[in-house]
Amino acid sequence: MLQTPYYLIDKSKLLRNMERIAAVRETSGAKALLALKCFATWSVFDFMRDYMDGTTSSSLNEVRLGHERFGKETHAYSVAYADYEIDEVVSHADKIIFNSIGQLQRFENQSSGITRGLRLNPGVSSSTFDLADPARPFSRLGEWDQKQVEPVMDLISGFMIHNNCENGDFSLFDRMLGEIEQKFGPLLKKAEWVSLGGGIHFTGDDYPVDLFAERLKRFSGEYGVQVYLEPGEASITRSTTLETTVLDTLYNGKNLVVVDSSIEAHLLDLLIYRENAKVHPNQGPYRAMVCGKSCLAGDIFGEFDFPNELKVGDRISFQDAAGYTMVKKNWFNGVQMPAIAIRELDGSLRTVREFGYADYEQSLS
């Protein structure tokens, strides 16, 4: 058994998502780009490459990683580019999508050799959490005024519109896309391609994939555009676990269990959005609050039910631990950073990355 903690990517579970993405691509004609902001563990890029069209990024480092490790189409996007990085960004990208007209005009000369696009903000989104809502008041994410965009259409050939956030409701997606068409229809008619971003949970159970593919195909035909999707979570959902070991047990009105991991350091998104981790099957007569080993009082994975009383040395496997985890892991408290391991299709396990003191030391000064 591998030393915990470690993230375990299961290729057989990843394959299910890849096949669903490939089916949507084939039926709808849309292209799919892996959103590196969600998942950038390049050791499985060779596996994912056969089912996807490339990557999309949010920074210089991500666009370079996508270009060098994934290949195929490489889209560059950032809320804002700095003068010192724009030339390198362009050197790694096939398309560059600017967040604002100001950035587009500022870097018009540097970006003239590749395809250019602009982010549009339709003012509606599926987010229920203000922190992640691109349509929140005073949002800086994209241009919203069609009249201001029209004069710069000669500088761009397409748009990116990202307003879905963990949206597993096709009817909501369909309704919001209709609002986008109503608001930006004249601009879309002038475009050659449109990215509808990520956050569409079309690889989830019971999602009406046929209706989704038909809607994408209809949108593409209506406006004469190549449609892009940017699946992040949808690409890797339920493919990965965070494997931990029980270090201590306590009782303070509840059964408390401390594991060799930390939600703040290893599953940070759950802490930010105040969500519990997932344990399967989460059934049994023994209920315990599972806690992280950092000094943060709220470093708590959640309360779960287990078939037996947990003891020191027992393993706990946290489910669905791929998205926004490995890209956000940190050295808070100097807690041991999880290794990254892969379960191959034949069931064999291999460790692809381990982290030690030198990594911790070199992350500082």
245 forms beta bridges with 315
H/E segment holding residue 195: strand 193-195
* 83 annotated ligand-binding residue: no
- Tell me the helix, strand and coil percentages in the chain, rounded to 5: 35, 25, 45
Amino acid letter at 162?
H
Query: What's the number of CA atoms in the CB half-sphere (13 Å) around residue 264?
Result: 15
Give the closest residue to 170 by CA, choosing from 194, 136, 204: 204
Give the closest residue to 119 by CA, choosing from 91, 95, 87: 95
300 forms beta bridges with 291
Say if residue 356 is exposed, middle or buried (CB neighbours under 10 Å; 0-12, 13-18, 19+).
Answer: exposed
Can you tell me whether residue 320 is helix, strand or coil? coil
Give the Cα separation of 354 and 359 in Å (integer).
Answer: 9
Q: Give residue for tokens 């009406």.
A: 208
Alpha helices in the chain (DSSP H): 11-28, 45-48, 60-65, 86-92, 101-106, 146-149, 170-189, 209-223, 233-236, 263-266, 268-272, 357-362
* 233 annotated ligand-binding residue: yes
Binding residue ranges for substrate: 233, 269
**Binding-site residues:** 233, 269
